[in-house]
């Protein structure tokens, strides 16, 4: 964008600076150049965008997005994922390495970066595999992966079981100042479990996954992180005990953080209902008490990041008996609207919620995003906080349809999304 854009009549929220004002924003050459309280006259030749009193906030930053490209483009391409992201207000996203082939080689990381720049509407940043082939046995070449553009190291859906390998990986990652984002699951304790362990699983005749399958590897990871000084991020926690472990760790280190899936924040095990496979997720949906504990951990800052855990799966993977179905749900288009439920229910304030979806994740992977600030790329969204809508599979822009929010009624939606000052999405009715 070479011209000027002025956004007027806006409620401007910048979570990074705890700003919440009514005013105007001037954008030039794709960057924010002025943010003023009150009405500002449009400079000569500037395009005017009337926010109509809606919220203007930084574009969302999503740290856990799976796609099918390369290798499984029938599930999702970088282009279709970016269409879904733009509709959901996500302007920057971290790509998981669970592709075919796995992103464990510098050439593959470079390829995905270039492919995203050429085809996607939003900014995709690749994460590279901790272990070669995601097999949890041999480490990838961290230095080469960082040079190729990898922003973080993770084994995506996989959880490394070997503590010695993790310690070595944490040590090398600390040397390269790269964050480790690790999924937590003890394979022996998870076993053949398919949902949260408890009375509901017993009643449904399904094998359960206990909390300790998450908390034991988390406890191990935290101790290793403290010993090595790595920047460690627990990819997604789901129970109160995990929050307690993270809270204790944060008392000793400012290099430890935690994320949560929008699914575990807004849904519980009762949503599994009559063996509904779209609710078969990892980590599993927990009890309502645990969900409330997660909200409390988000409010007090124990949980730093909310992500979509966007994981497109095809019909063959989901239309099976519950125990045989694959894990995962798409979430880019519904993440913000689902999260706004917590605001409408007065469980968290809007600025704090947006902080966990903008500046916090941006800071974690070190990208210049998640802020409305002079000199920063003008990636922002307009939110109609009270817009009523119902999720429908047919309206989703993702190539896959495995949403955990089918038929969900929401209040609040993205009215427009801008990247570098250019509008990349607009709500049809807006």
Name the catalytic one among 104, 309, 379, 384.
309
Instruction: Decide if 168 contacts 139 (C-beta within 8 A).
Output: yes
Please give the full DSSP string across 175-223, using - where no structure is assigned: HTT--EEE----HHHHTT--EESSHHHHHHT--EE-THHHHHHHHHHHH
**Dist CA 217 CA 208 (whole Å):** 18
Instruction: Decide if 234 contacts 250 (C-beta within 8 A).
Output: no
Burial of residue 315 (CB within 10 Å: 0-12, 13-18, 19+) is exposed
Radius of gyration of the chain (CA): 21
For 403, the token pair is 């949403």
Active site residue 309: yes
Residues 6+ apart with CB under 8 A from 52: 9
Instruction: Decide if 325 contacts 317 (C-beta within 8 A).
Output: yes
- Angle between helix axes 163-175 and 212-228 (nearest 10 degrees) is 40
Instruction: Decide if 87 contacts 397 (C-beta within 8 A).
Output: yes
Which of 410, 263, 413 is CA-nearest to residue 341?
410
Q: Coil, helix or strand for 337?
A: helix
Burial of residue 39 (CB within 10 Å: 0-12, 13-18, 19+) is exposed
**Dist CA 21 CA 92 (whole Å):** 24
Report, as residue numbers or ranges, the catalytic residues: 309
């Amino acid at each position: 964008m070479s011209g000027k854009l002025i956004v007027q009549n806006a409620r401007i929220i910048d979570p990074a600076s705890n700003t919440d004002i009514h005013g105007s924003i001037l954008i030039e050459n794709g960057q924010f150049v002025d943010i003023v309280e009150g009405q500002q006259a449009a400079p000569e030749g500037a395009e005017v965008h009337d926010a109509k009193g809606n919220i203007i906030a930084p574009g969302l930053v999503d740290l856990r997005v799976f796609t099918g490209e390369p290798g499984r483009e029938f599930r999702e391409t970088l282009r279709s994922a970016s269409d879904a992201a733009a509709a959901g207000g996500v302007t920057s996203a971290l790509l998981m390495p669970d592709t075919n082939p796995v992103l464990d080689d510098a050439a593959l990381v470079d390829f995905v970066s270039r492919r995203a720049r050429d085809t996607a509407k939003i900014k995709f940043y690749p994460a590279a595999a901790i272990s070669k082939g995601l097999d949890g046995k041999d480490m990838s070449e961290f230095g080469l992966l960082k040079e190729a553009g990898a922003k973080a190291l993770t084994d995506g859906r996989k959880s490394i079981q070997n503590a010695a390998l993790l310690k070595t990986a944490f040590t090398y990652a600390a040397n390269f100042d790269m964050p480790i984002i690790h999924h937590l699951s003890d394979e022996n304790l998870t076993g053949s479990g398919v949902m949260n362990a408890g009375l509901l699983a017993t009643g449904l005749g399904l094998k359960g996954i206990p909390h300790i399958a998450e908390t034991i590897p988390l406890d191990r990871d935290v101790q290793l992180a403290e010993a090595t000084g790595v920047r460690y991020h627990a990819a997604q926690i789901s129970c109160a005990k995990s929050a307690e472990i993270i809270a204790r760790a944060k008392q000793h280190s400012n290099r430890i953080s935690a994320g949560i899936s929008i699914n575990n924040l807004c849904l519980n095990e009762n949503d599994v209902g009559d063996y509904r496979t779209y609710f078969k997720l990892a980590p599993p949906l927990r009890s309502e008490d645990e969900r409330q504990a997660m909200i409390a951990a988000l409010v007090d800052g124990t949980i730093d990041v909310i992500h979509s855990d966007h994981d497109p799966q095809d019909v063959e993977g989901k239309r099976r008996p519950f125990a045989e179905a694959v894990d995962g749900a798409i979430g880019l288009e519904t993440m913000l609207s689902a999260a706004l439920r917590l605001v409408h229910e007065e469980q968290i304030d809007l600025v704090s919620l947006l902080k966990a979806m903008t500046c916090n994740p941006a800071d974690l992977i070190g990208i210049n995003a998640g802020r409305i600030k002079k000199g920063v790329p003008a990636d922002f969204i307009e939110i109609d906080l009270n817009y009523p809508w119902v999720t429908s599979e047919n309206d989703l822009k993702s190539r896959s349809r495995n949403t955990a929010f089918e038929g969900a009624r929401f209040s609040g939606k993205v009215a427009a999304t801008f990247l570098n000052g250019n509008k990349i999405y607009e709500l049809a009715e807006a």
